[in-house]
Chains A and B, each alone.
Chain A
Amino acid sequence: MAANRHGEMGRRTALGLGAGALASGALPRRAGAQGRMAPITIVINQSPWLDSFQRTVQLYERETGAKVDLDVNPFAGSLEKQRNSVRARQGTTDLLIMNSGWFAEMYFGGFVRPITDIDPGFRLEREVYTLGDTIFFDAEKKTMTPQGKLMSIPISPLIPLTYYRGDLYRENGIQGAPRTFAQLESNARKLHRPPRMYGIVQRGARGPHTVAYDFYPYLYGHGGSIFRNQAENDYTVTLNAPEGRTALDYYIRLAKEAGHPRTAALDQAEVIQAIVTGRGAHMITVVAAWSQMDDPQRSAVVDKIEWAPPPSIEGRPTAPGLGHWLAGVSRNVPDDRQRAAAAFLAWFQTPAAQIATAKLGGIPINAAAYRDPIAEERRFRWMKPLAEALPHAVNIYQFPEASEVIAVLELGLNRAIAGEITSVAALNDMSSQIAEIMAKNGYRTGKLEPLR
């Protein structure tokens, strides 16, 4: 693999994992013949899970002899690169690693070719998470259901989890994980000793998909939502319902009274940094950051972090927002490269490859991996909370104009957190703007009476 960042996996580790994967007999037969496959380029963003993905790709190359190049970009840069490639007469990248915020744009725009059109023999592994059925798309009905074609394979089933300091919980006599918002607030307040220790560190900065993504578990965990019912094509904006207000007021209160003073300026890297340097007692962040917690080279809290599904209000299930990544094959690249990309996906989805990816620091996309004995190991203690939360994950956007809505949320939420406007003004304003976007794009929409 020619990757432009990060180090190599140890040869012994790779051989060990490869041997294990082959011994399990779970690798598809076509993988053995990959040496004849065309080389492929994967365009991918720089995320906490990139390192593990690179190592998994190296494993694929060693097992099959295939050649894979990774084109690594920042989050927003990755989207722009994908747009440029898929809109050209001939694309430069074969496999698109698409975020939950923009995969719909790629489906609706006709930029991704169904995997089963490329390889009619392609079979989706039985226990691969379909993540709100976002891997399927019916181009005629414009819906994401299993009745549509298989468009992509999950690469990283990212959702946020609650990270909390188990050692501080024990020292302070706090029992059990914070399962409800009331527990989270109470525990965060108990452990809040600024500036040495913040009760919680939140990701409140404005970015491409930053504060909005941080807010989803709060919003949906309080029973709120952005739209009334996307599955039924009812895009009435419900963000400024009382549940939304409770959620935003809670988020801001937590930031002000038990959180980091710079919440409105913190992005994901800074939030993780606060935790690994031992200055935060809680964070609700994508599970992908788990590998940094126990890495003695990067972390001062090795073996001190525990995980739980994001909290919710009493009587409601956890409701993390999907921030997953899907891999789809670009329609405008030569057929041999499309077939090679599909072959990689066929390999990647297998239980053996997914157990290997977990051992390399990745997040498995196949439920079988979560039943493997590795899930019982101390270092993989995030796997059970993740498996528990994944079935409740919410697919926030099912339409291609999602980036416009995200931009509205990023600005409105950040202004409210920064204290520039009140939560009520922010929610009413965001709701009006979102309703306008949906109406302009021809969706059945409407809005609630403004909050007072």
Chain B
Amino acid sequence: MGGLGLLPVLNLVALGFFDVRWAEGQSTWSFVGTTHYAALTRDPLFGAAILNTVVFALGAVTGQMILGFALALLCSKATRGRVFWRAVFVLPVLIPGIVIGAMWKLLLNPEFGALAQLFELAGLTPVDWLGEPSTALFAVIMVDVWHWTPFCFLLFLAGLESLPRDVYEAATVDGASAWQELTRITLPLMWPTIAVTFVFRLVLAFKVFDEVYLLTGGGPGTATEVVSFTIYQRFFTEDRAGYGAAMAVAVIFLIFLMLAAAAAARRRVQA
């Protein structure tokens, strides 16, 4: 099983050292060494994509974590309508990506979108969220926050509901305020769940593709270019399989680095 899991990755790594060309219906693989990796450093799209992806991943995941945690706290304390609110909060994560793209593209349209109409009602000039380089990445982050906050919400809610009740009862007896309960009991006890959720979401956010593809196509300019979209273009649209593979390997390496950094940080906190 391990071999089967690794085979595609090994094939990808190998492909990154070759140039693939087609003639007379046959493919020819030429060994090019580290040429593709060297070219990565000069690729203007790749540089912009890495930067945007980091901003996107950190921005979106931070938003999802804060919102997800707040909603989970509210829901765990709610005495009425818990099932209803839980269903409402979970809804976005159940909607297919393609529908989310269509829905938000309509919503954010500066001419006939609902948001533009709200702005007009308020006497404000509608903003072209997806068409302006200064707002496009922010808009995509907002859509991702909307889409994936329920995922964090569910994990946090499960974590909160499994916390020992007796600790809270003791804190109440000792006269702890709600803020003290949150900062001295809930957050420390929830730390493992928060860390796992953060790392999990960060890795997934680093791989974002569908929202960018559907909402902006990486534009305007390079404003929303992300690494998965760059790989798609180089590998598929331009048919540069070797170069695209090298780019994919570089991204996998970056994700591993990120995971290692997260693990090291976790060890330091635990120590």
Kindly state the separation between the CA atoms of A83 and B223 in the bound complex, as whole angstroms: 30
Question: In the complex, what residues of B have CB within 8 A of residue A87's CB?
Answer: 22, 25, 27
Decide if B130 is an interface residue (CB 8 Å cutoff).
yes
Find the B residue at minimum CB distance from A411. Answer: B45
Question: In the complex, what residues of A have CB within 8 A of residue B222's CB?
Answer: 411, 415, 420
Give residues 91-108 of A contacting B (CB, 8 Å).
Answer: 105, 108
Decide if B237 is an interface residue (CB 8 Å cutoff).
yes
Contact B131 A105 (CB under 8 A): no
Question: In the complex, what residues of A have CB within 8 A of residue B25's CB?
Answer: 86-87, 109-111, 331-332
Contact B220 A264 (CB under 8 A): yes
Contact B128 A265 (CB under 8 A): yes
Contact A265 B131 (CB under 8 A): yes
Question: In the complex, what residues of A have CB within 8 A of residue B24's CB?
Answer: 109-110
Contact A205 B239 (CB under 8 A): no
Decide if B210 is an interface residue (CB 8 Å cutoff).
no
Question: In the complex, what residues of B have CB within 8 A of residue A206's CB?
Answer: 217-221
Kindly state the separation between the CA atoms of A105 and B239 in the bound complex, as whole angstroms: 10
Question: In the complex, what residues of A have CB within 8 A of residue B238's CB?
Answer: 403-404, 407
Contact A208 B237 (CB under 8 A): yes
Contact B221 A415 (CB under 8 A): yes
Find the A residue at minimum CB distance from B125. Answer: A195
CB of B44, distance to nearest CB on chain A (Å): 7
CB of B38, distance to nearest CB on chain A (Å): 12
Decide if A62 is an interface residue (CB 8 Å cutoff).
no
Question: In the complex, what residues of B have CB within 8 A of residue A331's CB?
Answer: 25
Decide if A429 is an interface residue (CB 8 Å cutoff).
yes
Contact A420 B220 (CB under 8 A): yes
CB of B8, distance to nearest CB on chain A (Å): 17
Q: Known A264-B221, A404-B238; judge A195-B111 contact (CB<8 A).
A: yes
- Interface size (A, Cβ < 8 Å)? 35
Give residues 63-110 of A contacting B (CB, 8 Å).
Answer: 76, 79-80, 83, 86-87, 105, 108-110
CB of B117, distance to nearest CB on chain A (Å): 13
Find the B residue at minimum CB distance from A86. Answer: B25
Decide if B236 is an interface residue (CB 8 Å cutoff).
yes
Decide if A450 is an interface residue (CB 8 Å cutoff).
no
Point out the residue from B22, B223, B234, B236 that lies within 8 Å of A80, measured CB to CB. Answer: B236
Kindly state the separation between the CA atoms of A108 and B128 in the bound complex, as whole angstroms: 43
Decide if A179 is an interface residue (CB 8 Å cutoff).
no
CB of B115, distance to nearest CB on chain A (Å): 15
Decide if B121 is an interface residue (CB 8 Å cutoff).
no
Contact B130 A414 (CB under 8 A): no
Decide if A262 is an interface residue (CB 8 Å cutoff).
yes
Kindly state the separation between the CA atoms of A429 and B221 in the bound complex, as whole angstroms: 14
Q: Known A264-B219, A404-B238, A411-B222; judge A110-B22 contact (CB<8 A).
A: yes
Question: In the complex, what residues of B have CB within 8 A of residue A391's CB?
Answer: none
Decide if B16 is an interface residue (CB 8 Å cutoff).
no
Q: Mark B209-220, 1 if CB is under 8 A from A, else 0.
A: 000000011111
Kindly state the separation between the CA atoms of A83 and B216 in the bound complex, as whole angstroms: 25
Kindly state the separation between the CA atoms of A108 and B110 in the bound complex, as whole angstroms: 44
Decide if A39 is an interface residue (CB 8 Å cutoff).
no
Q: Known A87-B27, A110-B25, A332-B25; judge A414-B237 contact (CB<8 A).
A: no
Question: In the complex, what residues of B have CB within 8 A of residue A278's CB?
Answer: none
Contact A420 B133 (CB under 8 A): yes
CB of A386, distance to nearest CB on chain B (Å): 29
Give residues 178-212 of A contacting B (CB, 8 Å).
Answer: 195, 205-208
Of B24, B27, B220, B223, most A-chain CB atoms within 10 Å: B220
Decide if B233 is an interface residue (CB 8 Å cutoff).
yes
Decide if A38 is an interface residue (CB 8 Å cutoff).
no
CB of A419, distance to nearest CB on chain B (Å): 7
Q: Mark B103-129, 1 if CB is under 8 A from A, else 0.
A: 000000011000000000000000010
Decide if B240 is an interface residue (CB 8 Å cutoff).
yes
Decide if A31 is an interface residue (CB 8 Å cutoff).
no
Give residues 411-447 of A contacting B (CB, 8 Å).
Answer: 411, 414-415, 417-421, 429
Contact A261 B128 (CB under 8 A): yes
Kindly state the separation between the CA atoms of A357 and B131 in the bound complex, as whole angstroms: 38
B-binding residues in A (CB < 8 A) = 76, 79-80, 83, 86-87, 105, 108-111, 195, 205-208, 261-262, 264-265, 267, 331-332, 403-404, 407, 411, 414-415, 417-421, 429
Nearest first, the 5 closest Cβ-Cβ pairs linking A and B are A265-B131, A420-B221, A110-B24, A418-B220, A109-B22
A-binding residues in B (CB < 8 A) = 22-27, 44-45, 110-111, 128, 130-131, 133, 216-223, 233-234, 236-240
The 22 sampled A-B contact pairs (Cβ below 8 Å) are: A76-B237, A79-B237, A87-B25, A109-B24, A110-B22, A110-B24, A205-B219, A206-B218, A206-B220, A206-B221, A207-B217, A261-B128, A262-B128, A264-B219, A264-B220, A265-B219, A403-B239, A407-B237, A411-B221, A414-B220, A417-B220, A420-B221
20 extra interface residue pairs, beta carbon distance < 8 Å, beyond A264-B219, A415-B222, A419-B221: A76-B237, A80-B236, A105-B239, A110-B24, A205-B219, A205-B220, A207-B217, A262-B128, A262-B131, A264-B133, A264-B220, A265-B216, A331-B25, A407-B238, A411-B44, A411-B222, A418-B219, A419-B133, A420-B221, A420-B223
